[in-house]
Structure 1
Amino acid sequence: MITVENLTKRYGTFTAVDDISFTARPGTVTGFLGPNGAGKSTAMRMMTALTPPTSGRATILGRDYKSLPNPARHVGVMLDAAAQHPGRTGKEVLHLIGMQIGASRARVEQSLQLVGLTDAESKRRVRNYSLGMRQRLGLAGALMGDPQVLILDEPANGLDPQGIHWMRQLLRAYADQGGTVLLSSHLLHEVQIIADELVMIGRGKIVAQGSKAELLGASGTRVASLDNAALAAALRRRDLEVSADASGLVVRAEAETVGRIALDAGVVLTDLRSSSAEGLEEMFLALTADDARVAA
Structure 2
Amino acid sequence: MITVERLTKRYGGFTAVDDVSFTVRPGRVTGFLGPNGAGKSTAMRMMCGLTVPTAGTATVLGKPYAALPNPARHVGVLLDASAQHAGRTGRETLTLAAIMVGADRKRVDEMLDLVGLTPKEAGRRVRNYSLGMRQRLGIATALLGDPQVLILDEPVNGLDPAGIRWMRSLLAGFAEQGGTVLLSSHLLLEMQEVSDDLIVIGGGKIVAQGSKEELLSVPGSVVASLDDVALATALERGGFEVTLHAGGGLATSAQPEQVGVVARDAAIALTNLTLAQNHGLEELFFNLTAETAREEVAA
Q: Distance in 1 between matches of 2:215 and 2:113?
A: 36
Q: Distance in 1 between matches of 2:50 and 2:88?
A: 24
Q: Distance in 1 between matches of 2:41 and 2:245?
A: 35
Change beyond 3 A, Cα 1:37–1:139? same
Partner of 1:42 in structure 2? Answer: 42
Change beyond 3 A, Cα 1:179–1:231? same
CA drift at 1:230: 5.7
Amino acid at match of 2:288: L
Q: Distance in 2 between matches of 1:228 and 1:293?
A: 42
Partner of 1:288 in structure 2? Answer: 289
Change beyond 3 A, Cα 1:228–1:83? farther
Q: 2:35, 2:294 within 8 Å by CA — same for their partners in 1?
A: no
Q: 2:36, 2:294 within 8 Å by CA — same for their partners in 1?
A: no
Q: 1:90, 1:123 within 8 Å by CA — same for their partners in 2?
A: yes
State the Cα RMSD in Å.
2.6
Change beyond 3 A, Cα 1:159–1:234? farther
Q: 1:259, 1:272 within 8 Å by CA — same for their partners in 2?
A: no
Which of 269, 276, 288 matches 1:274?
Answer: 276
Bigger shift: residues 255-264 or 31-40: 255-264
Identity %: 64
Amino acid at match of 1:282: E
Q: Distance in 1 between matches of 2:138 and 2:253?
A: 44
Q: Distance in 1 between matches of 2:203 and 2:246?
A: 28
CA drift at 1:254: 3.1
Partner of 1:169 in structure 2? Answer: 169
Bigger shift: residues 18-27 or 251-260: 251-260
Partner of 1:144 in structure 2? Answer: 144
Change beyond 3 A, Cα 1:147–1:229? same
In structure 2, the gaps of 5 or more residues are: none
Change beyond 3 A, Cα 1:245–1:106? farther
Partner of 2:219 in structure 1? Answer: 220
CA drift at 1:25: 1.2
Partner of 1:196 in structure 2? Answer: 196
After superposition, the C-alpha distances for 1:179-215 in whole angstroms (9 at most, x for unaligned) are 1101111122222222111111111111111111222
Change beyond 3 A, Cα 1:160–1:259? farther
Amino acid at match of 2:3: T
Amino acid at match of 2:294: R
After superposition, the C-alpha distances for 1:54-94 in whole angstroms (9 at most, x for unaligned) are 00000001111001011001000000111112221111111
In structure 1, the gaps of 5 or more residues are: none
Structure 1 residue matching 2:82: 3-state secondary structure? coil
Task: Give the TM-score taking structure 2 as reference length.
Answer: 0.88
Trace 1:106-125 onto structure 2 (pairs within 5 A).
106-125=106-125
Q: Distance in 2 between matches of 1:39 and 1:269?
A: 48
Structure 1 residue matching 2:62: 3-state secondary structure? coil
Bigger shift: residues 140-149 or 232-241: 232-241
CA drift at 1:221: 4.1
Q: Distance in 2 between matches of 1:78 and 1:283?
A: 27
Q: 1:230, 1:267 within 8 Å by CA — same for their partners in 2?
A: no
Structure 1 residue matching 2:280: 3-state secondary structure? helix
Bigger shift: residues 42-51 or 264-273: 264-273
CA drift at 1:280: 1.4
Change beyond 3 A, Cα 1:118–1:14? same
Q: Distance in 2 between matches of 1:29 and 1:198?
A: 9
Bigger shift: residues 180-189 or 239-248: 239-248
CA drift at 1:96: 1.4
